[in-house]
Amino acid sequence: MDKRVCIITGADTGMGREETRALAEAGYHVIMACYAPKLARPVCERLKAETGNPDIEVIGIDLANLASVRSFADTVKSRFHRLERLMNNAGTIETGFHLTVDGLERTVSINYVGPYLLTRLLLPLMGEGCRIVNMSSLVFPWGSLDFPDFFERGRKGSFWRIPIYDNTKLAITLFTFDLARRLQDRGITVNAADPGIVNTNILRMQMWFDPITDLVFRPIIRTPRQGADTAIHLLLDEDKATQTGTFNRSNHIHPVRDKFTRHPQMQQLWDETEKVVRPFLNQTLSPAPPLQGGE
């Protein structure tokens, strides 16, 4: 019997490494989707030894290059007939303005557009009982979406890393809610996880005020394992098997206001993102069912 297959982006460091460890210990064939495969392979070998699971491998992917995302997905689809778990874990907070080869602001590509495209490309491998987990953040309500500025600059106005990060987390959270509704008849669950403030490489102390920020938040900063815990439960726990379209923190569903679950820009975000990724897609997805009730 073939092992169940799981993909984890950014799997070689921080929370991704802990998610890889947990899924490997649970007996999955884990594909570590990593930006720097040469650096990731020694991590992969250590995880094989520590978990006793030889079915862990590294496949390169650059979420800031949509052609790379398509190439990764094509490789996976050529080798596997079913994908049980997809963990969109990788993320960044860029400290300067950088455009990708696709003309996207780099944080937007890595945190949102790349995971969006990867998920869409891998959906043909997923069916009843499969789970998708997107790494979000409790800061998503602070985000805003201005088109086309969101894709091209991250925000309207000058570059500023924090609001751009917030905007990407709003986008990935809205994508979670939207996709969950679109897939509800296929038995595929889609949920978002908030890791809290975690001591990972994403925390870069390169601004003058960062040491002050570090002193303020250090007492509540979580370890990578603690930060990954909510996502791991969403991926593995039996009582999460039918839970979908939720935002989770500290292993519990965190209530989200209707203004976000029924966000007025949700459909626009989907449509605008589809335009961006269209050259790399060969499939369409049914429209989401109409929203019921609400304010």
Catalytic sites, residue numbers: 165
Return the residue matching tokens 């605008």. Answer: 272
Residues in the chain, total: 295
Alpha carbon dihedral 103, 108, 113, 116, in 10-degree steps, equals 180
Q: How many CB atoms lie within 10 A of CB 258?
A: 11
Using alpha carbons only, what angle is made at residue 202 by residues 196 and 208, rounded to the nearest 5 degrees? 105
By the 8 A CB rule, do 139 and 163 touch?
no
Distance CA 35, CA 64 (A): 9
C-alpha separations of 243 from 2, 33, 227 in Å: 26, 25, 20
Question: Sheet of 85-88: strands edge to edge?
Answer: 56-60, 29-34, 5-9, 85-88, 131-135, 189-194, 246-249, 252-253
Whether the bond between 289 and the residue before it is cis, its omega within 30 degrees of 0, is no
Token pair recorded at residue 293: 């009730």
